[in-house]
Amino acid sequence: MSAQYQVTGSSAASISASIESGVRCGDWAWGDRLPAIRVLADNLHVSPATVSKAYQELRQRGIVESVGRQGTRIRARPAVASPRSSLRLPVPSGALDLSAGDPDTRLLPALGRHLRAMSDEVGPPMGYAAAGAMPELIDAARPRLAADGVPVDDAAITVTNGTLDAIERLLTAHLRPGGSVAVEDPGWANLLDLLAALDLTAVPVVVDDEGPLPDRLAAVLASGVGAVVITARAQNPTGAAVSAGRATELRAVLARTPEVLLIEDDHAAELAGVPLHCLGGVTTSWAFVRSASKPFGPDLRIAVMAGDEVTIARVVGRMRIGAGWVSTVMQRLLLRLWQDDEVAAEIAAAGADYDRRRHAVREALAARGVRARGATGINVWVSVQDETRVVAALRDAGYAVAPGSLFRMEAPPGVRMTVSPIDDDAIEALADEVTAAAHPATVSAPSR
């Protein structure tokens, strides 16, 4: 926090507004700790209960988070725009950015020729009443999903503006503020941010390379969570993928709580490189979400979602009274990409490239005694003892990585590295620097 910034206010509302203003103006940065409740209460001449209520309001709006005995701090990505909100962490000039989680832009299919072709295909302008999910896209999506084992025979299908948009609509349609959601730990940082902004409590479920641990999921479901979010493949940040055996176990666990909302995230889709083992259909309310952003490009903000009729109807209904629909231009573009054999070959080659680079990074680290995970996807999760030290050391060595604190709740420390920017000839040097940062040599005392 800026040394010049002072919290003001005499009520919970005015105190929370003052702190929010500081975040919005950039005077508070990610990780800055708020003053202790009694200290701020004394400074403002108000009761500790007033400050406590102000902090509670900020937590409910996803601006701050509690960190146990360490107090309350600004979230990594608070639910309010600020000059710092475009990036999680600053990337030093000249550093190789392994922190972003983006696909390799060099491997994304070119969209220009498809957009040019679409200009000749699009008919007369559409009105509001005619817009919605394109029947042609839904018809193309159904067999694609069925081929991967998604139970679409009795399912409804629609489209949303990406995975996070789908998850937000699902949660707001089924849960109310104050509810709880089972999530993977470590898990997707964006999802944790979203839950905080919706005033929903994230309940951690340990995840290994085959997905959530069944006994841990069973315990969390027994506690009464309203929803559970599971990543099918290429889990962010660990690269976990639900195996056939684990899927059987998870279905049995979920079947014991059929009232819970099950959300499956298949964001990697065609890039995943391993078979899908879908869990959908076990619970009464379920949704399977497949995004186009990883294989076809982050700017293609569209996802196909299948689920039970009631769940999909709720999402479509809420969309109609809000955003309305996903642009039919975007839908037509995705349909063309699906139908292009050349694009399919490019996506398959990209997936193989990610697999090769990810495997090479893990092998190089393992050879140096550094434990790393990353069975699928574009990320590698490196176990470390001190995230702050490792992130700082790698930054000084010319690499930006994401601290594990963005992704984890109770899981042990780690850092996430995205393999997309790493070229083959840079892997060994990177492994050397990660090893030096994670296991610094003991400095002996100078001889007398």
Residues 400 and 430 placed together within one structural domain of the fold? yes
- How many Å is the Cα radius of gyration of the chain? 23
Nearest C-alpha neighbor of 431 from the set 383, 372, 361: 361
Judge whether 268 and 231 are in contact, CB under 8 Å: no
At residue 123, the pLDDT reads: 66
Between CA 420 and CA 374 the distance in angstroms is 13
Judge whether 311 and 287 are in contact, CB under 8 Å: yes
Whether residue 217 is predicted with pLDDT greater than 70 in this model: the reply is yes
Residues 281 and 349 placed together within one structural domain of the fold? no
User: In the predicted model, what is the mean pLDDT of residues 339-361?
Assistant: 96
In a domain? residue 245: yes
Between CA 246 and CA 305 the distance in angstroms is 23
At residue 413, the pLDDT reads: 96
At residue 445, the pLDDT reads: 38
In a domain? residue 81: no
Whether residue 2 is predicted with pLDDT greater than 80 in this model: the reply is no
At residue 87, the pLDDT reads: 41
Residues 42 and 167 placed together within one structural domain of the fold? no
Residues 330 and 381 placed together within one structural domain of the fold? no
Residues 290 and 379 placed together within one structural domain of the fold? no
In a domain? residue 32: yes
Residues 288 and 162 placed together within one structural domain of the fold? yes
pLDDT digits (tens, 9 = 90+) for 42-59: 999 999 899 999 998 888
At residue 379, the pLDDT reads: 97
Between CA 158 and CA 135 the distance in angstroms is 9
Between CA 173 and CA 430 the distance in angstroms is 45
- Residue written as tokens 């090893």? 435
Between CA 175 and CA 167 the distance in angstroms is 12
Annotate 3-48 with DSSP letters as a single string. TT-----SSHHHHHHHHHHHHHHTSS-TTPBPPPHHHHHHHHTS-H
The set of residues, in sequence order, having a beta carbon less than 8 Å from that of 42 and lying 6+ positions away, is none
Judge whether 2 and 84 are in contact, CB under 8 Å: no
Among the candidates 315, 341, 367, a domain finishes at 341
In a domain? residue 7: no
Between CA 422 and CA 430 the distance in angstroms is 9
Between CA 78 and CA 140 the distance in angstroms is 38
- Name the E strands within 72-197: 72-74, 96-97, 156-160, 180-185
pLDDT band, very low/low/confident/very high, at 146 (cuts 50, 70, 90): very high
| Strand-pair partners of 307 | 156, 287
Q: What percent of the chain has pLDDT over 90?
A: 69
Residues 350 and 314 placed together within one structural domain of the fold? no
| Strand-pair partners of 74 | 64
User: In the predicted model, what is the mean pLDDT of residues 352-381?
Assistant: 96
Computed over every residue of the chain, the mean pLDDT equals 90
β-pair type (227-231, 261-265): parallel
Instruction: Give the type of residue at 346.
Output: E
CATH code of 223's domain: 3.40.640.10
pLDDT digits (tens, 9 = 90+) for 93-117: 888 999 989 999 999 999 988 988 8
User: In the predicted model, what is the mean pLDDT of residues 289-314?
Assistant: 95
CATH code of 25's domain: 1.10.10.10
Between CA 301 and CA 109 the distance in angstroms is 15
Note down the domain range covering 324.
112-119+130-341
Residues 334 and 251 placed together within one structural domain of the fold? yes
Whether residue 84 is predicted with pLDDT greater than 50 in this model: the reply is no
Most confident of the following: 30-44, 74-88, 121-135, 173-187: 173-187
Nearest C-alpha neighbor of 382 from the set 422, 417, 431, 427: 417
Whether residue 130 is predicted with pLDDT greater than 70 in this model: the reply is no
Instruction: Indicate if the alpha-carbon torsion angle 343, 333, 147, 294 is positive or negative.
Output: positive
Look up residue 439 and give its DSSP letter: S
Judge whether 170 and 287 are in contact, CB under 8 Å: yes
Residues 184 and 314 placed together within one structural domain of the fold? yes
In a domain? residue 229: yes
Q: 189-197 and 163-174 helices cross at what angle (nearest 10)?
A: 40
Residues 263 and 174 placed together within one structural domain of the fold? yes
CATH code of 347's domain: 3.90.1150.10
Report CA 63 to chain centroid distance, whole Å: 17
At residue 63, the pLDDT reads: 86
Two tokens, residue 79: 């639910």
At residue 59, the pLDDT reads: 85
At residue 412, the pLDDT reads: 96
Among the candidates 322, 341, 360, a domain finishes at 341
Between CA 212 and CA 329 the distance in angstroms is 37
Look up residue 149 and give its DSSP letter: T
Between CA 55 and CA 65 the distance in angstroms is 9
Report CA 74 to chain centroid distance, whole Å: 19
Provide the 10 A C-beta neighbour count for residue 102.
16
Number of domains forming the structure of the chain:
3
In a domain? residue 446: no
Residues 276 and 361 placed together within one structural domain of the fold? no
In a domain? residue 84: no
Whether residue 60 is predicted with pLDDT greater than 60 in this model: the reply is yes
Among the candidates 306, 341, 376, a domain finishes at 341
In a domain? residue 290: yes
Please state whether 347 falls in left (phi above 0), alpha (psi between -120 and 50) or beta. alpha
pLDDT band, very low/low/confident/very high, at 415 (cuts 50, 70, 90): very high
User: In the predicted model, what is the mean pLDDT of residues 147-159?
Assistant: 95
SS (H, E, C) 353-374: HHHHHHHHHHHHHHHCCCCEEC
